[in-house]
Amino acid sequence: MSDIIVQKFGGTSVGSVERIDAVAEIIKKTSRDNKVIVVVSAMSGETNRLIDLAKHFSKSPDKREFDALISTGETVSSALLTIALQSKGIQARSYSASQISMKTTSSFSKAKILDVDENKIKDVLDEGIIPIITGFQGITESGDITTLGRGGSDTTAVAIASKINAKRCDIYTDVDGIFTADPKVVPNAKKLDSITMEEMLELASQGAKVMQTRAVEFANKYRVSVKVLSSFNESSGTLISLEEKSMENALVSGIAYQKDQIKYTLHGIGDIPGTAFKILGPISDADIDVDVIVQNVSVDGKTDFTFTVPIDEKPIVDAIIEDIKKDVSFKDVMVDSNIGKVSLVGVGMRSQSGVASKAFKALSENDVNIQIICTSEIKLTMVIDKSLVDKAVQVLHKEFNLEE
Ligand code: ASP
Ligand code: MG
């Protein structure tokens, strides 16, 4: 284990010169006892501003140019933070994706990291200089600039931490850590001191927005220890632990929700081999995350097939469904954007039963109708009416005694 810590600062953490100054102090302090590598996001609002500029000229701008444009926010913050550090007498140097060979696939706006030149970064560290690296950016084999998807700086940081075998990857944000539920919905939600990687994976994929889901997957796959903490105060944050068994396993550790999903139901579809693949194959080929998937018991060889996808992907999914009509016969398709999902997550569910019935009872007593239920070993997800999501989260948070 090395003594290197990767520190990633999100958009709000570098959102103004004052915030950048505060971040420079954090880096200065950490660098007294550790080697530090820094990864930055764009200043908050900047990526959105750049996207709007492009959209002014075209609804679907050229993908290469779009990434070249929206990647620039990180270039600004890395250089600016470096200047701030240098003004405090700290040796630092900014690096873009191309300067550290952050190689990615060429799928613009959702590029995947292939490799990064860790020797380059190590050389900089050995010179006693803190590298300040642009998050979110990548570069293709042929030298085109790519981006890693919204929130992608988290993935940059975890990838570098993994490649360099860092002691830890600290994700600095504007919240104190991972909470039992979104404090905006549940004001007395509790900050967790630690959570297992498995739980974090489920929470992130089910809507907890603190870290990009892909970054958590990456950290899990390459066993990178991650801490989520605030750059606005000295709170201790939440450690995402790689250890499977942490203390007494909580039955429910956290509740996540999503309101940005849309539900498709294909009615009267033939219950024959290959149908699910014919529907979901093209959707996954388009790199769209399908979440809840339910197929009913068939009657007279016909069944209903339901799935949810992010609402932003509606135009593409509509087009795919139109297209598969030539291969798959079904009576009609029902599209419902008025849905939300609530998920209970906890490793304790594995060994203790009764979570589901307790949740269903609490929701029924509060007139929340459950449309779809789906479970994994450590997760219970319920699809409900979008307008009832906040209430359901509050009810469940109380039912499972998660408050402070
Ligand atoms: N600046 C990018 C975004 O806003 C990447 C990031 O912040 O992680 O999505
Ligand atoms: Mg972010």
Tokens representing 102? 């952050």
Strand-strand pairing, 302-310 and 261-270: antiparallel
What integer pLDDT is reported at residue 267 of this predicted model? 94
Angle between helices 275-285 and 314-324 (to 10 degrees): 140
Cα of 307 to ligand 2 centre, how many Å? 27
CA distance 54 to 59: 8
Cα of 42 to ligand 1 centre, how many Å? 6
Nearest to 372 by CA among 402, 330, 342: 342
With cut-offs at 50, 70 and 90, classify the pLDDT of residue 248: low
Q: Is the CB of 237 under 6 A from ligand 1?
A: no
Give the closest residue (by CA) to ligand 1 atom 8: 151
Q: Is the CB of 72 under 6 A from ligand 1?
A: no
What integer pLDDT is reported at residue 155 of this predicted model? 97
Residue given tokens 């996954």 in the structure block: 284
Residue type, 258: Q
Q: Is the CB of 254 under 6 A from ligand 1?
A: no
Q: What is the mean pLDDT of residues 27-37?
A: 96
pLDDT at 272 over 90: no
Q: Is the CB of 150 under 6 A from ligand 1?
A: yes
Q: In ligand 1, which atom is closest to the CA atom of 149?
A: 9
Q: What is the mean pLDDT of residues 335-344?
A: 97
CA distance 381 to 308: 12
CA-based torsion, 309, 313, 315, 320: positive or negative: negative
Ramachandran bin of 24, using left for φ above 0, alpha for ψ from -120 to 50, beta for the remaining angles: alpha
Nearest to 385 by CA among 204, 293, 252, 263: 263
With cut-offs at 50, 70 and 90, classify the pLDDT of residue 404: confident
Give the closest residue (by CA) to ligand 1 atom 9: 150
Cα of 331 to ligand 1 centre, how many Å? 42
Q: What is the mean pLDDT of residues 359-363?
A: 96
What integer pLDDT is reported at residue 16 of this predicted model? 98
Task: Tell me the pLDDT of the chain averaged across its residues.
Answer: 94
CB atoms within 10 A of CB 182: 20
Cα of 208 to ligand 2 centre, how many Å? 12
What integer pLDDT is reported at residue 126 of this predicted model? 97
Give the closest residue (by CA) to ligand 1 atom 6: 151
Q: Is the CB of 73 under 6 A from ligand 1?
A: yes
Q: What is the pTM of this model?
A: 0.89
What integer pLDDT is reported at residue 1 of this predicted model? 57
Cα of 52 to ligand 1 centre, how many Å? 14
Cα of 353 to ligand 2 centre, how many Å? 36
Q: In ligand 1, which atom is closest to the CA atom of 154?
A: 8
CA distance 116 to 222: 14
Tokens representing 193? 């001191």
With cut-offs at 50, 70 and 90, classify the pLDDT of residue 296: confident
Q: In ligand 1, which atom is closest to the CA atom of 153?
A: 8
Q: Is the CB of 11 under 6 A from ligand 1?
A: yes
What integer pLDDT is reported at residue 25 of this predicted model? 98
pLDDT at 2 over 90: no
HEC per residue, the chain: CCCEEEEEECCHHHCCHHHHHHHHHHHHHHHHHCEEEEEECCCCCHHHHHHHHHHHHCCCCCHHHHHHHHCHHHHHHHHHHHHHHHHCCCCEEEECCHHHCCEECCCCCCCCEEECCHHHHHHHHHCCCEEEEECCEEECCCCCEEECCCCCHHHHHHHHHHHHCCCEEEEEECCCCCECCCCCCCCCCCECCEEEHHHHHHHHHCCCCCCCHHHHHHHHHCCCCEEEEECCCCCCCEEEECCCCCCCCCCCCEEEEECCEEEEEEEEEECCCCHHHHHHHHHHHCCCCCCCEEECCCECCEEEEEEEEEHHHHHHHHHHHHHHCCCCCCCEEEEECCEEEEEEECHHHHCCCCHHHHHHHHHHHCCCCEEEEEEECCEEEEEEEHHHHHHHHHHHHHHCCCCC
Q: Is the CB of 138 under 6 A from ligand 1?
A: no
Nearest to 147 by CA among 291, 23, 20, 51: 51
pLDDT at 175 over 80: yes
Q: Which domains are assigned to the chain?
A: 4-174 (3.40.1160.10)
Q: Is the CB of 194 under 6 A from ligand 1?
A: no
Q: In ligand 1, which atom is closest to the CA atom of 148?
A: 5
Ligand nearest to the CA of residue 41, numbered in listed order: 1
HEC per residue, 63-129: HHHHHHHHCHHHHHHHHHHHHHHHHCCCCEEEECCHHHCCEECCCCCCCCEEECCHHHHHHHHHCCC
Cα of 203 to ligand 2 centre, how many Å? 16
With cut-offs at 50, 70 and 90, classify the pLDDT of residue 249: low
Q: Is the CB of 47 under 6 A from ligand 1?
A: yes
What integer pLDDT is reported at residue 333 of this predicted model? 95
Starting at the edge strand found earlier in the chain, the sheet holding 370-376 runs: 254-258, 339-345, 379-385, 370-376
pLDDT digits (tens, 9 = 90+) for 309-337: 999 999 999 999 999 998 898 999 999 99
